[in-house]
Structure 1
Amino acid sequence: MSTYKTALRVVWAHKFYFLIYLVGMSAIMLVIGFSNMQAAVSATASSSVGRFEPARAKIALINRDKASEAGRNLGQGLEDYLKKSSDLVAVDDDLQSLQDANVSGKSDLTIIIPSGYGQQFLDKLNESQSSSQPGSAALPEVETAASYNSSRGSLAQLQIDAFFDGLRTASLTGLGRAPGAAQAESAATSGSAPASSFGAASTSAPASASASPVASHAQSQAPSPTPLSPADLKSAAAYTVSHYASNQPAIKVQTTSKKDAKTLAAGFAGTISLAAYPLMTALTVCVAILFGAFNSPDRHRRLLSSPLPTAALDWQELLAAFILAVVSWGYYLLAAVGSTTAAGGSVASLGWGRVWLSFAAMFVFALAAAAFGFMLSQFNPSSSVINAVGVIAGLLIMFTSGATSGGYLPTSMQTIGKLTPGWWYNSAVTAAMGVDSSGQNAATGSTGIGSWLAPLGLIALFALAYICVGLMASRLTRTRSTLAAATTSDPTLVG
């Protein structure tokens, strides 16, 4: 295992590349993934269905009719009614204070009950009650001034209209009558029962000319409605306040199935998909430098003169590359889980089956990235070329895989992306997590175990193709190599 240990020493000698490309680049990707996961957690928290609470307006209620009983009862009823939906603020009853409160935003709506309003309201109710069309008389209006700084004041005016409509209805229908008045009216009605019965019997008889005087006499004997009193107004206001909910528009919160798990899964899938850039760049550079060190002419001559079979030496080199891929995969796996937990998400809530499928896709992609580095090393490039190719390959995969796109990629970029393992890696991760890719078409971003297995197989085929091309290049370079001493060597590849 001396070749294997030498390979590990070569990797350790170039640990600076590993730190820059894997740790450094993955830190950038994890920051992006962390922000996406935080947004997903916030969206999940805000999507919880709870109580609907409309905005509460700040209302200044000024009652200038407290001298009369009707004004006091009406003002108290309006205050109790508004407290259920608004916040009442205290403002001095002078012009300057009212204007300051309205302009400064201290109150969204100012309501003024003018002097004598309560008695005017009662008079209109009695007039409407005695008329042939109850409710036809127009009620007096209170003075209101809504602030232009907020729309809550204008909406609160609807509450005032609802209160007075309910108050009029309760008063005219007797729902708001005081107990004593209701009993007196009931007694008056029972005393006129014979006349009503007589009238009813007369109308059931055959129609004749003498029926009209009898009906007129019965109607003339009917008792007139009892006038409403301030006590009746107080009872009607209390009834209106107690039935506040029935006076409001019907507001129903429609509960739907929350997509908490789907939102979190999309954020986690984005974090895992972003591993394509650091893994491809780091493994391409590190594996290429590893195999490049063994492919240098002087080391190649030593390997040819070794008593060990060539296959055994190759397997030891491949084992070192495999260990490098496993370490890179494990590092990003732990970093992604830690980033998700730090953002407030729970990996266990996503389902360990789906999570491990995404980890498996990342592992296969890491092997494909290592295979790409092996292929690159067989062309004997310099260290600068290896770094350039590794960075370009990582950027190409990052921008064409669809993992970093806020919308669907153009057709040309999709075509380029499908020629790289990054596209299929993103497809496998999103399929494993049961979400659609943000940058791929819906057909490509379909979910399910079959949709996960197909792109995973394509990633493995990419790895196999890289290995085959690398072996072919290695055979061509080794058959043309000589045992002559090399005139130059690249010192950067020396372990």
Structure 2
Amino acid sequence: MNTCKATLRVLFAHRVYLMIYLVFIGILMMSISWAMLTSASGSMSAVFESTKTRVAIIDRDSDRGDIATSMRAYLRDSSELVDLDDTSETLQQAVASNWVDLIVIIPDGFADGLAGSVADGGDPPNVDTVTSYTSGAGSMVRMNVGGFLSLTRTALIGAQTTVDETALAGMAGPDMPESFKSLAQAGGPDDASAYRDILESLPEGQVEKPDTGDLARAARKAAETASDKDVNHDVAVVDTSTEATASASGTVASGFGSIMKTALYPLFLAMTICGSMILSAFTTGEVRRRLTSSPQRMATMGLQRMLTLSGFALAVCVGYLVLSVGLMVAAGLNPLRLSVGGVLMTFGATCVYALMTVACGFMLSEFGFSETAANGFANVFGLLIMFTSGVALPIEIMPGAMMVIARFLPGWWYCTAIDNALGFGTAADTGVSVAGWAGSLGLVALFGMMFICIGLAAGRFRRSRPTLAAPATTQMAEV
């Protein structure tokens, strides 16, 4: 018990390393996990919400026919309207500074030109538009402006078109065209040629020239369609089968596994460095001589120190699991969608990996690494593990040489074990695989056993040759 207490005291005496490597690096990795979780949670939203673009409408036609007012009402739901002064300098600065995505300029006489095109059947006039050089959204809004003008012109033509009632009454009599008869019998035309026959059979209509009031009513009618939910429905995801539930469960499992994978780097740094320094503190100088002279065996005390460090590493794993669940809840993901077996296997993989890091710290202490050397080794080897495990870089973009190196490191097999436990990722194409999880976890455990064996061999070599490990001393002889 005294050995365990002493180990914990030495551990917390190095709390600076725990704060830097376990807390600060852990927060950094958690922030990466949070970004991935929020993106995954946003992709599961039931309703699509588009970002609003900034649009400025410059009216030089004095709002004749309510064109400018109705256009603003039409674009208000999908865009953010910006007021700009109608000066060349202001408009140029707005576009150059990317203040707006689109500027719509309604020229003088536009309303009269639109009404005249309806009466004589000519081409309608166009508004002037200026799109921001950095925004593709401005082009999409320009299409909305064109849609509003088309709806306005269509509504205006429909309201101003009249057909001779006598001609219409004659079509319902015995002289009904054959295309109309087939339409009445079949309930609809069979092909596009039938549509053309019907349109050609209709009597010619006459379009009266609209006035400003008619144009204003048509523009307001076109603007009302933008906010009419019966016409423009919200884009929604409808769950029609169990596949949607399975997809949501897969997203939750992927998010949970990604968080647990990020424990790879801070756990390796903290436990390897602290383990090396703590175990080295008991094997140097006066401390070792006192322990050697004690009635308790050195092997027993060493085992107690290892068990104490292992217990602390497992406690860190429990804390990381609790934080992972909390992050999922905060991101809007339901942890209850996770399978109990998958969570237990993932937690087991993290625990085995944590014990492997303690074994690596034991190896460094047996080699007699100094504090600086232990920090350098852990940081370099930890970065190598992280960048070859698939946590920092997607596996799809990793070169072949890096993939070969990754399979000789424990980080790859730790991530593979999580993939097999939860049934996601490139390492688990066939879903949850207990055999794949056990095999990957066994390889992580073998890495830990390898570190222990190397450490024991190095320690035995150093103790059998004390002159290689003992510092140089200066003796003063009396004359």
Aligned partner letter, 1:464: M
Structure 1 residue 11, shift from structure 2 partner: 1.8
Alignment of 1:156-171 (within 5 A): 156-160=148-152, 162-163=154-155, 171=162
Cα gap change, 1:144 to 1:409, in 2 (>3 Å): closer
CA shift for structure 1 position 284? 0.8
Report how many residues are paired: 398
The answer to whether 1:112 aligns with 2:111 is yes
Aligned residue runs from structure 1 range 125-204, under 5 A: 139=121, 143-149=125-131, 151-152=142-143, 153-160=145-152, 162-163=154-155, 171-172=162-163, 182=165
Q: CA deviation at 1:417?
A: 2.0
Q: TM-score, normalised by structure 1?
A: 0.62
RMSD between aligned residues: 5.2
Q: Which runs of no fewer than 5 residues in structure 1 stay unpaired?
A: 67-74, 88-96, 122-137, 175-181, 198-224, 437-441, 490-495
CA offsets 1:134-188 (integer angstroms, 9 cap, x no match): xxxx7356555353456243343433564467569x744x7xxxxxxx5x77888
- Looking at structure 2, the residues matched to 115 and 375 of structure 1 have their Cα atoms a distance apart, in angstroms, of 84
Aligned partner of 1:409 among 381, 385, 398: 398
Q: Using the alignment, how far apart are the partners of 1:35 and 1:54 within structure 2?
A: 22
Contact kept in structure 1, 2:268 and 2:354, CA below 8 Å: yes
Q: Is it true that 1:269 corresponds to 2:268 in the alignment? A: no
**Paired letter, 1:358:** T
Aligned-partner residue type, residue 121 of structure 2: L
1:448 equivalenced with 2:448 (yes/no):
no
- Residues 6 and 53 (structure 1), Cα distance of their counterparts in 2 relative to 1, 3 Å cut: closer
Give yes or no for contact 2:60–2:105 (8 Å, CA) kept in 1: no
- Distance of aligned partners of 1:226 and 1:424 in 2 relative to their CA distance in 1, 3 Å threshold: closer
SS, match of residue 295 in structure 1 = coil
For 1:60-459, list aligned pairs within 5 A: 111-113=110-112, 121=119, 139=121, 143-149=125-131, 151-152=142-143, 153-160=145-152, 162-163=154-155, 171-172=162-163, 182=165, 257=244, 259-263=247-251, 265-296=253-284, 298-342=286-330, 344-346=331-333, 348-351=335-338, 353=340, 354-406=342-394, 408-436=397-425, 442-443=426-427, 447-450=431-434, 451-459=436-444
Give 1:156's aligned amino acid. Answer: F
Conservation of the 8 A alpha-carbon contact between 2:420 and 2:427: no
Question: In the alignment, what sits opposite 1:179?
Answer: none
**Secondary structure at 1:378 match in 2:** helix
Partners of 2:6 and 2:52 in 1: how far apart?
Answer: 71
Is the aligned partner of 1:2 residue 2:2?
Answer: yes
Mapped to 2, the partners of 1:187 and 1:13 lie a distance apart of: 101
* Cα 1:255–1:474 shift into 2, 3 Å: same
In the TM superposition, what is the alpha-carbon distance from 1:394 to its structure 2 partner?
1.6
Greater Rg over alpha carbons, structure? 1
CA distance in 1, matches of 2:456, 2:266: 25
Provide closer, same or farther for how the CA distance between residues 303 and 357 of structure 1 changes in structure 2, counting only shifts above 3 A. same
- Measure the CA separation in 2 of the matches of 1:85 and 1:404: 45
Indicate conservation of the 8 Å contact 1:329/1:363, yes or no: yes
Quick one: percent identity of the two aligned structures? 28
Change (3 A) 1:260 1:318: same
- C-alpha deviation, 1:446, in angstroms: 6.6
Shift of 1:371: 1.0
* Aligned with residue 446 of structure 2, among 457, 461, 467: 461
More displaced stretch, 442-451 vs 22-31: 442-451
Q: Normalization by structure 2: what TM-score?
A: 0.64
The secondary structure found in structure 1 opposite 2:393 is coil
Query: Matches of 1:115 and 1:9 in 2, distance apart?
Result: 86
Point out the more displaced range, 14-23 or 351-360: 351-360
* Separation in structure 1 between the aligned mates of residue 429 and residue 232 of structure 2, nearest angstrom: 41
Matched position secondary structure for 2:397:
coil
Name the CA distance, whole Å, in 2 between partners of 1:369 and 1:292: 16
Closer, same or farther: CA 302–266 of 1 in aligned 2, 3 Å = same
Tell me if structure 2 keeps the 8 A contact 1:400–1:414. yes
Task: State the one-letter code of the partner of 2:4.
Answer: Y
- 1:33-71: CA deviations, max 9, x gaps? 2333333333434xx34599999997989899x9xxxxx
Cα shift at 1:366: 0.6
Once residues 171 and 320 of structure 1 are traced to their aligned partners in structure 2, the CA distance between those partners, rounded to angstroms, is: 93
Cα distance in 1 for residues equivalent to 2:397 and 2:115: 69
Distance 2:349 2:390 in 1: 16
1:229 deviates by 9.7
What is the distance in 1 between the residues matched to 2:29 and 2:114? Answer: 71
The 1:303/1:155 distance shift into structure 2, 3 A limit, reads same
Range that drifts further, 30-39 or 413-422: 30-39
Contact 1:112 1:142 in 2 (8 A): no
TM-aligned CA deviation for residue 373 of structure 1:
0.9
User: Alpha carbons of 1:228 and 1:363: their partners in 2 closer, same or farther (altered >3 Å)?
Assistant: same
Read off the aligned partner of 2:146 and give its amino acid letter: S
**Amino acid of the residue matched to residue 275 of structure 1?**
A
Matching residue's letter, 1:435: F
Q: SS at the partner of 2:111? A: strand
Asked whether the 8 Å contact 1:58–1:86 carries over to 2, the reply is no
> What secondary structure does 1:147 align onto?
strand
Q: Are 1:146 and 1:154, in contact at CA under 8 Å, matched by a contact in 2?
A: no
> What CA deviation, in whole Å up to 9, does each residue of 1:273-328 have, x standing for no partner?
22111111111111122222222264444444433345533331222121221233
Residue type of the alignment partner of 1:112: A
User: Is the partner of 1:11 in helix, strand or coil?
Assistant: helix
Measure, in 1, the Cα distance between the counterparts of 2:287 and 2:437: 42
